Structure 1
Amino acid sequence: MLMQLKFTNTARSQFFVTVRHRVDAYFKENGISPHANKAMWTKASFFLGGYVLLYGLILSNQFGPWTMLAMAIGLGLFAAFIGFNVSHDAIHGAFSSRSWVNKLLGSSFYLIGANPYIWKISHNVVHHTYTNIPGHDEDLEIAPGLIRVDMDEPYRPWQRFQHWYAFPLYSLASLSWIFRKDFLKFFQKQIGQQAHSAPPFREYLILFTTKAAYYFFFLVLPYIVLDLTGWQLVMGFVVMHLVEGLVLGLVFQLAHVVEGTNFPVPTDQTTIQEAWAVHQLQTTANFAPRSAVAAFFCGGLNRQIEHHLFPKVCHIHYPALTTIVKQTAHDFDLPYLENRSFFSALHSHYRLLKKLGQESDE
């Protein structure tokens, strides 16, 4: 039975009214668009161009196996960075005010073997609405039965080691995505507790066509043109995706599964006794918010609080929004969670995994 949740604490809804007013005023007073600027277009061009360049260099067959393996690692990194910096903003409608531009850039998801149609439902709708709510936010289902991120989830003895084996499992995220996840979600009747009707026939056609094209360009064509053995080709492909998966997995975990973030349980199975925007503050954390390097490579997702409150604003503007959101949260005596660096967030995630890997006292 599907359970649609409602956020019922209207008394705390004034926070979002205020912070949205202040953010709107920032853009109006400075005469700037909330969408991509020149710096954002330059960054998108860098990642897309770097991805195409690395792929072309590998296919040129002018390098030895070890050099091509290094390029495959670079290709995995650039694939993750395209997801963060180009696809993610575009699918949220944040890259441009023109829908066709967002749709075109959102198609960059196909370059990394993923499907934008199903991502828009599972991420934009489900994850952004029901963040960190067990049973509703499927992003919490990292490896069911292996990784425990919810105290109410049944405990299994091997989970006492999850703070060690979780990280290698994160590396499998990309391989699961291109071979399993999209197909599975296309045929599910629900995503989380959100009803999922059958996609239009056109989307099925796009799914199978683009997946086949991805397999051809990354498995069949390299096998034809490269002087590599079958096992060398498979190793390069797998290593590329292990790198990509680890980067993708870690960025999500460091934003939502760290000490201080909540995993609220609905009352009466249908109610979250909190305002939606306040819920986002309670379930999301920033990491390395002052790092220009993290902002550049993570597509602003090191500032997840700002992203969750303003997903239709291009991430290039998040540094300015951070000051506004943080001050407004302080004004309303609300939490604003952040880890000062990537490594402090990583350590926090590790400690939380270790804690959740222990059997509860009950």
Structure 2
Amino acid sequence: MTIDNAVRTGSDFAELSRRVQRAGLFDRRPGYYTARIGVIATLFVGGWVAFFALGDSWLQLLLAGFFAIMFAQIALVSHDLAHRQVFRTRKPSEIAGRLAGNLCVGMSYGWWMDKHTRHHANPNHEELDPDVVPDILVWSEDQARVAKGIPRFFGRWQAFLFFPLLTLEGLNLHYASARAVLRPGLKRRGLEAALLLTHAVAYLSALLLVLSPGKALVFFVIHQGLWGVYMGSVFAPGHKGMPMLKPGQKLDFLRRQVLTSRNVRGGPFVDHAMGGLNYQIEHHLFPHLPTVNLPKAQHVVRNYCTELGLPYHETGLADSWREALGHLHSVGEPIRREHAH
């Protein structure tokens, strides 16, 4: 897909926004979020009750997989809170977001919200999107040509290493959160640090008090590894393998969001598993739109893109990964070519 010939017209988004407004899709959905959060909270608490009841058993490894799912679902709720999909105002959003992110899963709400906001403003921009910084992997051939150190080491075969590396994403989220609260500038840094520390102490204490050291270690590895894979599987399909924006390349808001985003088909199961982020195009255009309204917004957005002749990209889940991994392998070619010589 190319963006070189995209028409740049700033007023197009205003018309789309009016159509979404007329459809009533900006309306809050408190009943939906009450039910969703209630189910997740019940399952999460029930999981810990089962954990303590089961005791020092290898069957706990099944719960490790269960908690990987729960951590991801809670992180997705925190994501919706950060975008003010649940509450209209900032204060309750931040309180609930810190409880969900920092306390329940050990991920800094403030750090993640800052990073994610910058991503939304400039998705797939080589200089401005923090999600495509070449710290481990390279996301464009230009990054590959100048890569050194770790990105250069992994870049040759990064498509094959992508899923194995995702097993470390959970630990990376904990590490990045801890690093963020140790640096000045993070809002409510003391509170965030206290909540993260409480999570870490409670989580590790539960494992070591109930399980033998060997079982605790295996539980930790499985839980954190599967959580990382789940998180990567939810967030990566939306943009990886879609066009990258180079420094100086400018598009209006509508085209910047649509052309760099991918939707994923799959029905209700995929909708719930991905927390609505399979409607990535609509989510990027209207981040505060309640998740449950995204499927209806899709009809409005897709029809409007057709009117404008604007490419609207949607695939199945398997194809989204094929495109993403194919892109990763393609952009690593400069490193492979240099090594071959």
Query: If the length of structure 1 is used for normalisation, what is the TM-score?
Result: 0.83
1:295 aligns with 2:280: no
1:319 aligns with 2:314: no
Superposed CA RMSD = 2.2
The one-letter code sitting in structure 2 at the alignment partner of 1:275 is: D
Deviation at 1:127, TM superposition (A): 0.7
2:314 is paired with a residue of what secondary structure? strand
Residue-by-residue CA offset, 1:56-98 (whole Å, 9 max, x unaligned):
21123x25532111111100111101212x1111111111225
Instruction: Select which of 150, 157, 177 maps to 2:140.
Output: 150
1:282 aligns with 2:259: yes
Deviation at 1:35, TM superposition (A): 2.1
Instruction: Select which of 114, 118, 121 maps to 2:111.
Output: 118
Match of 1:17?
14
What is the distance in 2 between the residues matched to 1:350 and 1:87?
A: 28
1:255 aligns with 2:238: yes
What is the distance in 1 between the residues matched to 2:128 and 2:178?
A: 20
Match of 2:78?
87
Deviation at 1:11, TM superposition (A): 4.9
1:219 aligns with 2:219: no
2:263 is paired with a residue of what secondary structure? strand
2:115 is paired with a residue of what secondary structure? helix
Structure 2 unpaired stretches of 5+: 1-5, 146-151
What is the distance in 1 between the residues matched to 2:80 and 2:258?
A: 20
Match of 2:148?
none
The one-letter code sitting in structure 1 at the alignment partner of 2:216 is: L
Deviation at 1:357, TM superposition (A): 2.2
Deviation at 1:251, TM superposition (A): 1.8
What is the distance in 1 between the residues matched to 2:60 and 2:107?
A: 23
Deviation at 1:299, TM superposition (A): 1.2
Match of 2:310?
334
Is the 1:15–1:329 Cα contact (8 Å) retained in structure 2?
no
Is the 1:18–1:328 Cα contact (8 Å) retained in structure 2?
no
Deviates more, 1:40-49 or 1:150-159: 150-159
Is the 2:181–2:193 Cα contact (8 Å) retained in structure 1?
no
Is the 1:286–1:337 Cα contact (8 Å) retained in structure 2?
yes
Residue-by-residue CA offset, 1:239-276 (whole Å, 9 max, x unaligned):
11111111111222111012xx2111122xxxx32102
Query: If the length of structure 2 is used for normalisation, what is the TM-score?
Result: 0.88
Q: Which runs of 4 or more aligned residues in structure 1 lie more than 6 Å from their structure 2 counterparts after TM superposition?
A: none
Identity among equivalent positions (%) equals: 20
- Check 1:158–1:113 CA distance in 2 against 1; reply closer, same or farther (3 A cut): closer
What is the distance in 2 between the residues matched to 1:63 and 1:230?
A: 13
Deviation at 1:99, TM superposition (A): 4.0
1:265 aligns with 2:242: no
- Check 1:207–1:101 CA distance in 2 against 1; reply closer, same or farther (3 A cut): closer
What is the distance in 1 between the residues matched to 2:281 and 2:230?
A: 19
Deviation at 1:215, TM superposition (A): 1.2
